Structure 1
């Protein structure tokens, strides 16, 4: 009898512990959901404030230019800070404001500081002799919120009087850059003081493959999805430390990068020494997109994992705008969580100018660019994301123009 009572008591105790654990789990999930909702509202409020600080102008047909924002990202140890230090000390003729998210990551030579201008600089801002400035996002919250706080400060706060030509944002090594990109590409930011000009991902030529394609029986445990996401988001892939790898490793690396992001230009460097024009002007080139994609497909090298896919869609004939918009809307509704980045240049029926598409997740925009002129009219659209259905997308895009074709 006592043995049976003991068993019953043990079962009741186990059930009580399980119930407590279940209730704790549910409450923690509810708390996390509430914190996420509160954070999302804070971010929306800050974005709205940024939009309110847009330059006021009487002539809507000739608005003042917005300030370009270059986002520099890359995995730990890739050389981001080395590149940023070169930007700060460089002779590029631009007054660049650098916002870095790791306290103390940038070391400024005292001889480069403009002592006179520094006396009048806002707290936390370092002013250099070449007109560049550096500051750290130190406010509480996520990396995105720290960046928004700094942009707001330079729009309406103590630092609003500073004059600069461009902003460079350096993310932390483990950061997913997509939240910052997504905010800067929001439709509400059209006409705002700041616009996203390009995303530069610094790649560690020596160590990247061990992060995106680790070997060994427990290799999957060492896989770093952050590194893949940083590559997928890039307009320019700055392959750093090329002096530390041989030609065979370089071929494998460039092939893997091309398969992860065919839309990005690849630039090789040692010690992050690159011409400034490539960092500050990662222009979209529809012909280049197709050529880079084909080169990636024809190269022999290590294959990448199935997590991130890059699908390139091309069409020789003009695409009807209404059909394109309807297709993009369906794509967003069905796959926006998996769609990391979309970009391309399309020939629209009845339109003499290029139709440039860019976006991230559910935020996709299309704008008219320059005229085709003597350049052959064609459409190239690159989609980068998580396990995208390449064959289905190819067929759907082909139907838009009636004679599309794609390579993947």
Structure 2
């Protein structure tokens, strides 16, 4: 238990907020004091259906200004961007807005890398003028969490089975997680993958993880963001127009909401399995509250 209180600014790619509901549900589940139970101390601000690095940049600034009025309640602000965000304009916010620069310090940029699938995204050909977000996010990171390390080098079928276990990790007793993750030797594959990551960013420490289990102490109070290093990498960092970057129009989101309908879990599982089989490599993320 890190004992810290966070404000969370959550940017979702779609127009239906899911993560805020997941966090609120977790908070509700821990709202009663008891043995081993800690109250969750977060305030969540959602920024929906947009790119936090440009079209909702003003919303980000306003959210940070509003949070400053409650600074006595929070030890830190966590900004979670979408997987499609360019981190550079978000980081730029802390240096080009005088009010934000005076009231906040950018502690560090943390990038979570999906070890099982990242290479297909690094190799992806983007439309002319569009940046490869995976490369940008790794390049700007001060810490890199290499998650799903147990899936590196496995077949697609094995990955799918293991990822299903990952989604249900909360239901797996601690003693069984090793078995669920498998015992294959992936050291060589991980070493090769880390080498590729270091060719993009040789400075950021890489933290290997499974089931997204990381000690918070490795991610907090880093004082890791170095403006000078960023300027050496991108001399135009402080002067660039946050609206100038080109979006990848091949990526879109679809959202459904069915209030009042009874859920048939078996049919939902069948539909998701069929969707993964037909379009698995084209799906970046799917999530919801049932």
Q: What range is the shorter-chain TM-score in?
A: 0.5 to 0.7
Deviation readout 1:39-73 (Å, 9 max, x if unpaired): xxxxxxxxxxxxxxxxxxxxxxxxxxxxxxxxxxx
Q: 2:29 is matched with which residue?
A: 111
Distance 1:209 1:363, change over 3 A: closer
Contact 1:178 1:360 in 2 (8 A): no
Deviation readout 1:378-404 (Å, 9 max, x if unpaired): xxxxxxxxxxxxxxxxxxxxxxxxxxx
Q: 1:150 is matched with which residue?
A: 63
Q: 1:132 is matched with which residue?
A: 42
Distance 1:111 1:187, change over 3 A: closer
Distance 1:135 1:162, change over 3 A: farther
Higher strand share: 1
Cα distance in 2 for residues equivalent to 1:242 and 1:363: 33
**Length-normalised TM-score, structure 2:** 0.56
Distance 1:220 1:174, change over 3 A: closer
Q: Cα offset for 1:273? A: 1.0
Structure (1 or 2) with the larger CA radius of gyration: 1
Gaps of 5+ in 2: 153-185, 239-290
Cα distance in 1 for residues equivalent to 2:108 and 2:214: 16
Q: Cα offset for 1:196? A: 0.5
Distance 1:130 1:220, change over 3 A: closer
Calculate the aligned-residue CA RMSD, in Å. 3.4
Q: 2:143 is matched with which residue?
A: 236
Contact 1:101 1:136 in 2 (8 A): yes
Cα distance in 2 for residues equivalent to 1:183 and 1:359: 18
Distance 1:155 1:242, change over 3 A: same
Q: Cα offset for 1:111? A: 1.6
Gaps of 5+ in 1: 1-90, 116-127, 287-340, 345-356, 365-408
Is 2:187 the counterpart of 1:247? yes
Q: Secondary structure of the equivalent of 1:343?
A: helix
Contact 2:4 2:75 in 1 (8 A): yes
Contact 1:185 1:196 in 2 (8 A): no
Q: 1:97 is matched with which residue?
A: 7
Q: Cα offset for 1:358? A: 8.1
Cα distance in 1 for residues equivalent to 2:72 and 2:47: 17
Q: Secondary structure of the equivalent of 1:168?
A: strand
Q: Cα offset for 1:153? A: 1.9
Distance 1:191 1:136, change over 3 A: closer
Q: Cα offset for 1:362? A: 3.2
Is 2:199 the counterpart of 1:273? no
Q: 2:202 is matched with which residue?
A: 262
